[in-house]
Structure 1
Amino acid sequence: MNTNLKKAALRSATCVAAFAIGTTGAYAQDAEADAATANPAQEIVVTGSLIRNPNLQSNPVLTTTADQIELKQSNTAEDILREIPGIVPSVGSAVNNGNGGASFVNLRGLGSNRNLVLLNGDRLVPAELNGRFDLNNIPVALVERVDVLTGGASTTYGADAISGVVNFVVKSDFTGLEANVSNQITERGDGAYVRADLTMGADFDDGKGNVVFAVGYQQSDPVYQGDRSFAASSIDSYSGNISGSGTTSPSRFSNVNALGIDNGNGTRQITADGTGFRTTSAFDAFNFNPYNIFQTPFERFNMFGQAKYEVSDAVEVYTRGIFSKNTVKTIIAPSGSFSGLSVVIPLSNPYMTAAQRNAFCARDMNSAAGVYTPLYTQAQCDAAALATDPNDPNYRTVTTGLYRRATEFGPRVSEFTTTFFDYKAGARGGITDSINWDVSGAYGESENIQTQKGYWLNSRVRNALLATNTDTCLDGSDDCVPLNVFGPDGSITDAMNQYLTANSQVVTKTSLAQVRGLINGDIGWNVPWATDSVAFAIGAEYRKYTASQESDLLSQSGDLGGSGGASPNISGGYDVYEAYGELVVPIVQDKPFFEELTAQGGARYSSYTVDAPSKPGYKTWTWNVGGTWAPVRAFKIRGNYAHAVRAPNIAELFAPNNTGLTNLAVDPCAGSAPLTNANLAAVCTAQGGGAYLGLIENDPAGQVNYTSGGNLALKPEKSNSWKLGAVFQPDFLPGFSATVDYYNIKVTDAITQPTPGDAISACFDNLTAASATSAACTIIQRDPSSGNLFGEAATTPGLFLGLTNQGTLKTDGIDFTVNYGRDLGFAQLSLALNGNWTGSSKFKASPSSINRDCVGYYSVNCTSIQPEWQFSERTTLSFKDFDVSLLWRYIDKVTYEPAAYADDLAAANAANDGLAAAAQPCPDPEGADAGGCMVNPEYRKIPAKSYFDLSGRVHLNENLTLTLTVQNLLDTKPKVVGSTIGATAYNSGNVYPSTYDTLGRRYAAALKFNF
């Protein structure tokens, strides 16, 4: 091995030793000789710098080691990161409705699209159009440690690293054989999780080369919400009552006048026996919870290989390849006819009873004028019952909104199969004894195929309802089966369902090509008061990223009942050329009050070319400056200031406007409020709800439509962040170290969209006569057949939540670590604490939006939970042949967002406006008796939670280790807050399953064999 590579190995061992004690590189030089002897051939990986000298590093990095991963028995990268304070839950295995078959990480609550996930400091191909990497592709068996770096890291790693990076460092120079097999299961006997890994490595050609190959398999079973008592039934967060979806069984229909009286229109459910309609608007909400899941079924097969070979004393070639095939299934409640699907039904439909027919005929067509005029006279209605030919003069139809759950068919299943590979090859060597070069190229692809099963097609529902006999449909097609939506639950046959359903498919493809050249090392000159030379790194990089979403015609059409909207075709890409440099200057070393004084800085220039003729591209600069000062060996102060950027991703640029579902529990136009408030009535009318004032509904499931899409006018967002911290490692207390670091991150020109609360507030706060013509109000568009904010995507755009560069984001907080190790004589004691205090996490979508601070709050606007305090503390006793370890994870209390509470209160007061106290629908809106007008007081707070995991590890012999773990030792239950208080992807099963454990006590066992 040449001199330069030997130096790299020595520095690598130093870095590993530093991270192992949790001091992020502080005074690692003391252990340099011993570490190098123990790990003579490891390659250096320093997170946060391109200069491969850990003695000069000043970036605060939180680290999780392979030993901690083994004791916790983490099966996925998502599991590993969940234990690190400051990481906010993102989409992952606990997300059922809204999971696209991948797991992501969200650093500091700034968004999962504002960080980078790296492998040994390298980017890997993203999983989708937002540029996010799927954590499911990380080879967990080979992970040596995980480094989390907070704050702008764009200078080192390029754009996207506004909130920081997560760097998975894998083992290098592995020799021997290691096999792992593990199994987990909950105390209730479900949620089995099997994992098996095999790793092989060997040196060859007298140590000039090394090759490592690993294969792994994982498989997990679903855990259904119906199998947990707190989630068995959906609870409305406002009333506190058992609730569910308005898409029910038996069916509900709009425009029904079951009583045949003036002003008797509305939506009514068919009676349980299927003979007629209920006479009131009350209905049996459909309980969708038992079908939904807390642990998504998952299967993965992965391979990882790396090799290197010293061609000569000056050149070493290397390569690395990853392959993974993942299958994730999300399971949700049955499909059906959602959101009051507008259908036309002949009064001669063979399944319609006389009582049901009369209710449709009795619809009041002129109640607004105070005159009761039924849709059809009784004579016309009776004659229409016999008119089966559309050419018959007596043939009559009714237009109605249909709500019908396909309970007879089973759940909707989306199967996501992802095939991923990423390959890298390069060469490195020495220019001089102290300067190295490294040139590499990488290419990766990811393909995700989503197959949707169990969905009714809206077009076929409409066609099947036009039948006038039980055998054929009016279009004469051979495959059409007339549909019975007028009977009791169970009235829909298998033949009917088979006609109504068809599978659909969406394919998402991404590719990333990279070429990079780097020169780094020492320039051979040092400042007179320092002993170490000035270190530098300079380099250039090219990346080409492409992504596309290709949907079949069914997915593009939005014809799938309950799919949440259409999946349009999207395609785009960009090229980026970059040049960058870093410099580390030791100023003073080994002097009184200046044991160390070091300055460092870097800059990166990037030129983007977007694959769009109308888009000129971007040219950006990022830079950082920082330094460390150690007045004595035991104490170090470090700081850093960084300017970072994030270019718009492909979805943000190229996605067309599309209508989907978001969360909103209270619609200001719902109920009787518009009948007594003229300004409110004018606004609701301007949005398309004028014909239905007094009849507009809140969706029982707390969901409404929204429209959004990409914007080619977007420009890069900018970030300024700074960190200031200290490291304490006293000589008088061997084995002790502590760090504390304050971080402050602000993003301007942020690419954001308004929250549902922002869109509602912009229109409905401070209503005046002019509000009915303001853009903030008229841009909201309602269902023309009901006035609701929910309905068919094709006709009901709902709220408009467009992307702009008008947003700002800001967060600040403190990370702290405490580590202590001591030999007790009979055992080795190890204490490790990682904690985070978040001071603020503010989000403002536009200058006129609310500046929301979501720390310690949850709502439809503060989607994922970010507590003020979090920490993880592990205590381990290591004996000669076994270890005992306890992990304590603490999550601070959180409460319902005050701004959301204010919105609820305003809506409740508007509903009471102008009404006598006896007639007010929201008595005492601020009190506990507010009913469905305000969030139930019981659900406005989630108390602090502590989780404990107990592990025991027995070294059966020098080659075999058994690890036993009890996760959630005390079987701590999540706090129930109902299912309509937050965003569906995070608030599910009446709880927040990505933050709080829903599986309960679990048992895990693992065997590791190494040779």
Structure 2
Amino acid sequence: MFAGSLAMGMHAATAQEAGEQSMQRVEITGSSIKRIAAEASLPVQSFNQKDIKKTGVTTVTDFIQQIPAMQGFSVAADSVGGGGGGITTASIHNIGEQYTLVLLNGRRIAPANSGTTIDLNSIPLSAVERVEVLTDGASALYGADAIAGVVNFILKKGASDWQIDAKYNRPERSGGSSNAVSLSKGFGDIDDDGYSVFFSASHDEQKALKASQRSFAKTGIVNFTDPANGRALQFINGSSLALPANAAVRYTAANGDASSVNLNPYALSHNGACAPMNADFYGNGNCYFDHASTIEINPETKRDGVFSSGEFKLGASGFKAFYDFAFTKANVRSAIAPFPAQFSIDQGSALYNRYVAPYLTAEQAAGVTSVTANYRLMEMGNRTYDYGTKATHIVAGVDGNAFGWDVNSAFTWSRNRQTQDYVSGFPVAAKFDAAIDAGLLDPFTYGYGEMPEAMKNTLLGTGFSGLYSTQTVIMKGWDARGSREAFKLPGGTAMLGVGVDYRDTNYQVANEDVAKNAEILYESPSIDSGYHRANAGAYAELMMPITKQLEVTASARYDRIGATKDNVGGASYGQTESANTWKLSGKYSATKNLMFRAAAGTGFRVSTMQQIAGMQEDWGVTGGNYNCPLAGTNHPLASYCNGVGRQQFEAFRAGNAELAPEKSKQWSIGTVWEPLNGVSMALDLWQVEIRDQVTDVAESQIFAQWEKYANLYTTKYVASTGRNELAIVYAPVNIGRAESRGIDYDFQHRMNLWGGKLTNRLAGTYLLRSRYTEPGTSDEWTSNLNRYSSNDDVAFRHIIRASSSFETKQFTHTLTAAYRNGYIDKPQTEDDCAVIVAGSPGECYAITLQVPSYTTFDYQVAYRPMANVEITGGILNLFDRDPPFSLRNAGSHQVGYNPSYSSALGRQFYLSGSYRF
């Protein structure tokens, strides 16, 4: 039902379903040559509207991320807490979203960042006619940077009835409900009327889901047992910025050594018991706040979209003008843990005298050098961000035939603008410090809900709400391509395709004064930035039918990518890069029902403008808590570890102008076989090897291997404490090599049964290899296949989708199963101390769990009481499977499961309707 055929015959079927009765030449995804649809030879998975509807999804993101060939993408639940701004992406074969090219009607759209990554939120599902996924990478037509492959959204066009669609989805448990509505209409016929225009408008939204609404995610303090010996353990993702506050006291001991002591005045005055929502995990004097219990694990989203396409005959010239227009407004609102505030307590102040001095020894009191309050502003509520995206995409061009050439040329203007608003939960430093100095706030006394109303109002009065920054990406481009018959061969006529393309991408970040002046407590100043870069390419493709059975296609491409220009300072970063890439593919039709195909080629990609030229900027704090690895070492920043316990560390993000281009080699070999009427199978073995792959070093690697990444340690000045603190830098590096290999498969069976048609399908991807070399080496391989790797990801060997659909004149019943195998979880070491023995603070425990496999079932029934009406009801996650337990504690803020690999919504019921008139 869902998986989409890898067989070429699927294209012919799709064309027939669209009403194409004649053998019309069409553009095939992955080729510059217009050909009969049934002639396609590349491994393209095609999904029409019927396939999409049977999944029960509401958004493009949900649909794409269910395809078995997709792994390694960004989901909104992970993106909003992990610095991604709520974007959602596509990634073929776990090779990476940056290597997966996403197109609208075969043309690029403005990315969500300074590279080529596309935010799927900007594409309205209601406007999609079909989706084609080319799983063979480095296209001559689209660009050598499409190393993993291409996702091409073919949008609706042509005459059609008015159609209104509506859907409502509600999880059985609270939170996360969604709804969608769309309206569309097509006018005119290009042949009869000389024009054709299509229009659609849509709206969809989803409510937020709180961690407290799901038992598996409601706390960052998770009790579990070691499956090997039954020992009771606790998994901890707490923060030393607590409620009430901890006090970190640094002092000079009597012997002259720098030392420190942590204390929690609330606990000390309550017989050592931490306040509710806090716990003593390490016996180091701190109480640790359960921040994971306060967050939203799925953000609130709203999206409005308008799309129109049109074609107009240009007299009797044989040409037609065309346009595409798409506009999407999307808002992703995310609520993460309340603000973590650090500020200095002056010696002799009322707070010092009342809450700190009584608990210090004479030696400590005599040598005090600084006191820092580590406080959680729970009464301000969650830090709530609103990421607003406005995406506009305009294409205008001509298409026709001249002098024997099928030609197509167009201009593209595409813009993606994202605003970041601070909605609530952010204190202005000047106001907050003034309230502390005036004695209007007491950070050491009150637990959640205990703060006096007047004090709470004072705290709320320090907050900021408004626009924080705006990121704008504008892509302007022009392309022209043509194809024609070239010469005769024994198997038929050879076809030649040629083309050129040019695009200029401008990336700009404009910060508001609140960001530029670091007005928010604990933040560093943000600096406006802007870059632009020009790309140009030319390509040629020759398809040669050597015999009636054998067809060979050769293509070559030249790309030139300019240096990154700084719009603000005028400097250039990196250098102009160019490369010649090639691809050779072929298919052999052994019989009418058996075909073999193969392809080999090369790819080329230059890093994003931000990766090359990005200045060092504040990037919050680390996702995990760590002991300071530089303590007692000869690192020049080792002194910043004095008095520092286990904590989250400051973080920056920065670029690297020395990054080398990435280059790839890939090949595939496959077969399509129909042994019996109604039975088909397709298998494709593929491999991609990337040299000089670019990636950010994960924080776990930086802390575990500090000597290798010594240059990624720095300091950050924290205005609220008046001190420099140790920080790490997330910076991109060329890691060496990466290899991926696997098999895509698709088995299908159709038969007539009981007056209807039964369709069974099994489709999936089987990964054979997924590995990369450690940064700075060429032969130290790390595999993430079926294991959580140092890059904080997992490559799954098995992702399978099986379905059975029974269709009669009025009803269609569909049962679908989705399977993802288990994997080795993130190792937790004694040094990490994220796991302790239950009831024994500070007794760290090393463990690596096996995360179990995850299988869900969906059921849907569609009812067609009239030709123009369809009513559909269904259940997603029929057996209400919770996500499997995981000890992951990097990336976004969710704890207890991995939001990248399973949904927290649980069993969902949905009802939808479609009416044409």
- Structure 2 length as normaliser, TM-score? 0.89
2:308 aligns to what?
305
Alignment of 1:754-793 (within 5 A): 754-763=697-706, 776-777=709-710, 780-781=713-714
Higher mean Cα deviation, 456-465 or 182-191?
A: 456-465
CA distance, structure 2, for counterparts of residue 284 and residue 638 of structure 1: 62
CA distance, structure 1, for counterparts of residue 23 and residue 485 of structure 2: 21
Asked whether the 8 Å contact 2:2–2:52 carries over to 1, the reply is no
Deviation of residue 727 (structure 1)?
0.8
2:332 aligns to what?
328
Alignment of 1:371-386 (within 5 A): 374-375=366-367
Paired residue for 1:602, among 546, 555, 565? 555
CA distance, structure 1, for counterparts of residue 15 and residue 74 of structure 2: 44
Asked whether the 8 Å contact 1:708–1:803 carries over to 2, the reply is no
Is 1:416 the counterpart of 2:366? The answer is no
Is 1:714 the counterpart of 2:718? The answer is no
1:82/1:117 Cα in 2 relative to 1: closer, same or farther (>3 Å)? Answer: same
1:464/1:968 Cα in 2 relative to 1: closer, same or farther (>3 Å)? Answer: same
Deviation of residue 973 (structure 1)?
0.9
1:1003 aligns to what?
909
CA distance, structure 1, for counterparts of residue 273 and residue 717 of structure 2: 25
Tell me, what secondary structure is at the counterpart of 1:130?
A: coil
Asked whether the 8 Å contact 1:443–1:514 carries over to 2, the reply is yes
Query: Which entry has the higher C-alpha Rg, 1 or 2?
Result: 1
What are the superposed Cα offsets for residues 410-463 of structure 1, whole Å, 9 maximum, x if unpaired?
Answer: 11110011111111111111124x531111111011211100133444743773
Higher mean Cα deviation, 279-288 or 110-119?
A: 279-288
1:966 aligns to what?
875
Tell me, what secondary structure is at the counterpart of 1:44?
A: strand
CA distance, structure 1, for counterparts of residue 271 and residue 513 of structure 2: 38
1:576 aligns to what?
535
What are the superposed Cα offsets for residues 934-983 of structure 1, whole Å, 9 maximum, x if unpaired?
Answer: 4545xx111111111100000011111000010000000112224xx342
Asked whether the 8 Å contact 1:922–1:931 carries over to 2, the reply is no
Deviation of residue 756 (structure 1)?
2.8
Deviation of residue 705 (structure 1)?
3.4
2:406 aligns to what?
436
Q: Which amino acid aligns with 2:794?
A: I
1:890/1:957 Cα in 2 relative to 1: closer, same or farther (>3 Å)? Answer: same
1:473 aligns to what?
none
Deviation of residue 841 (structure 1)?
1.7
Tell me, what secondary structure is at the counterpart of 1:59?
A: coil
Asked whether the 8 Å contact 2:876–2:907 carries over to 1, the reply is yes
CA distance, structure 1, for counterparts of residue 882 and residue 302 of structure 2: 27
Tell me, what secondary structure is at the counterpart of 2:871?
A: strand
2:219 aligns to what?
233
1:41/1:215 Cα in 2 relative to 1: closer, same or farther (>3 Å)? Answer: farther
Deviation of residue 260 (structure 1)?
13
Deviation of residue 792 (structure 1)?
8.2
What are the superposed Cα offsets for residues 490-541 of structure 1, whole Å, 9 maximum, x if unpaired?
Answer: 4442123312545451100010111111111322x221x21x2101111111
Q: Which amino acid aligns with 1:941?
A: Q
Asked whether the 8 Å contact 2:631–2:638 carries over to 1, the reply is no
Higher mean Cα deviation, 681-690 or 735-744?
A: 681-690
Higher mean Cα deviation, 155-164 or 734-743?
A: 155-164
Asked whether the 8 Å contact 2:835–2:846 carries over to 1, the reply is no
CA distance, structure 2, for counterparts of residue 462 and residue 355 of structure 1: 19
Gaps of at least 5 residues in structure 2 are 225-232, 275-282, 566-570
Tell me, what secondary structure is at the counterpart of 2:289?
A: coil
In the alignment of these two chains, the number of paired residues is: 883
2:28 aligns to what?
46
1:278/1:884 Cα in 2 relative to 1: closer, same or farther (>3 Å)? Answer: closer
1:835 aligns to what?
764
Q: Which amino acid aligns with 1:713?
A: E
Asked whether the 8 Å contact 1:71–1:951 carries over to 2, the reply is yes
Paired residue for 2:800, among 849, 859, 871? 871
2:279 aligns to what?
none
Alignment of 1:695-714 (within 5 A): 695-699=643-647, 703-714=648-659
CA distance, structure 1, for counterparts of residue 10 and residue 805 of structure 2: 24
Q: Which amino acid aligns with 2:713?
A: I
1:62/1:778 Cα in 2 relative to 1: closer, same or farther (>3 Å)? Answer: closer
CA distance, structure 1, for counterparts of residue 376 and residue 748 of structure 2: 56
Deviation of residue 293 (structure 1)?
1.9
1:347 aligns to what?
348
Tell me, what secondary structure is at the counterpart of 1:857?
A: coil
Q: Which amino acid aligns with 1:357?
A: A
Deviation of residue 625 (structure 1)?
0.8
What are the superposed Cα offsets for residues 745-770 of structure 1, whole Å, 9 maximum, x if unpaired?
Answer: 11112222322343345445xxxxxx
1:145/1:934 Cα in 2 relative to 1: closer, same or farther (>3 Å)? Answer: farther
1:113/1:561 Cα in 2 relative to 1: closer, same or farther (>3 Å)? Answer: farther
CA distance, structure 1, for counterparts of residue 589 and residue 839 of structure 2: 57
1:736 aligns to what?
679
1:915 aligns to what?
none
1:553 aligns to what?
513
Paired residue for 1:69, among 52, 55, 63? 52
Tell me, what secondary structure is at the counterpart of 1:651?
A: helix
Deviation of residue 78 (structure 1)?
0.9
Tell me, what secondary structure is at the counterpart of 1:107?
A: coil
Deviation of residue 824 (structure 1)?
1.5
Alignment of 1:256-295 (within 5 A): 265-271=260-266, 281-295=284-298
Asked whether the 8 Å contact 1:626–1:638 carries over to 2, the reply is yes
CA distance, structure 2, for counterparts of residue 949 and residue 276 of structure 1: 52
Asked whether the 8 Å contact 1:268–1:277 carries over to 2, the reply is no
What are the superposed Cα offsets for residues 808-865 of structure 1, whole Å, 9 maximum, x if unpaired?
Answer: 2221111101122111242101112220011222233523385321111125x24233
Q: Which amino acid aligns with 1:719?
A: S
Tell me, what secondary structure is at the counterpart of 1:403?
A: strand
2:358 aligns to what?
358
* Higher share in strand: 2
Deviation of residue 655 (structure 1)?
1.1
Gaps of at least 5 residues in structure 1 are 1-17, 366-372, 377-397, 471-481, 590-595, 671-679, 765-774, 912-920
Q: Which amino acid aligns with 2:783?
A: D
1:988 aligns to what?
894
CA distance, structure 1, for counterparts of residue 724 and residue 581 of structure 2: 45
- Structure 1 length as normaliser, TM-score? 0.81
CA distance, structure 2, for counterparts of residue 210 and residue 242 of structure 1: 60
Q: Which amino acid aligns with 2:415?
A: E
Tell me, what secondary structure is at the counterpart of 1:47?
A: coil
CA distance, structure 1, for counterparts of residue 425 and residue 705 of structure 2: 36
Q: Which amino acid aligns with 1:356?
A: V
1:549/1:533 Cα in 2 relative to 1: closer, same or farther (>3 Å)? Answer: same
Q: Which amino acid aligns with 1:618?
A: E
Higher mean Cα deviation, 144-153 or 949-958?
A: 144-153
Deviation of residue 256 (structure 1)?
7.3
Tell me, what secondary structure is at the counterpart of 1:255?
A: strand
Higher mean Cα deviation, 617-626 or 324-333?
A: 617-626
CA distance, structure 2, for counterparts of residue 1009 and residue 85 of structure 1: 31
Deviation of residue 27 (structure 1)?
9.1
Tell me, what secondary structure is at the counterpart of 2:578?
A: strand
CA distance, structure 2, for counterparts of residue 236 and residue 705 of structure 1: 25
2:248 aligns to what?
254
What are the superposed Cα offsets for residues 170-190 of structure 1, whole Å, 9 maximum, x if unpaired?
Answer: 223242111100000010243
Alignment of 1:352-751 (within 5 A): 354=354, 356-359=356-359, 362=361, 364=363, 374-375=366-367, 399-432=370-403, 435-457=405-427, 459-460=429-430, 463-464=433-434, 467=437, 469-470=438-439, 482-489=440-447, 490-491=450-451, 492-499=455-462, 501=464, 503=466, 505-523=468-486, 525-527=487-489, 529-530=490-491, 532-556=492-516, 560-561=520-521, 567-589=526-548, 596-612=549-565, 613-615=571-573, 616-661=575-620, 663=622, 665=624, 667=626, 669=628, 682-683=632-633, 686-689=636-639, 692=642, 695-699=643-647, 703-730=648-675, 733-751=676-694
1:118 aligns to what?
103
What are the superposed Cα offsets for residues 254-274 of structure 1, whole Å, 9 maximum, x if unpaired?
Answer: 1179x9999994111121597
1:268/1:34 Cα in 2 relative to 1: closer, same or farther (>3 Å)? Answer: closer
Is 1:222 the counterpart of 2:208? The answer is yes
CA distance, structure 2, for counterparts of residue 49 and residue 864 of structure 1: 33
Deviation of residue 1010 (structure 1)?
1.4
Tell me, what secondary structure is at the counterpart of 1:113?
A: helix
Asked whether the 8 Å contact 1:335–1:454 carries over to 2, the reply is no
Asked whether the 8 Å contact 2:889–2:895 carries over to 1, the reply is no
1:753 aligns to what?
696
1:72/1:278 Cα in 2 relative to 1: closer, same or farther (>3 Å)? Answer: closer
CA distance, structure 2, for counterparts of residue 578 and residue 32 of structure 1: 31
Alignment of 1:942-981 (within 5 A): 942-978=851-887, 981=888
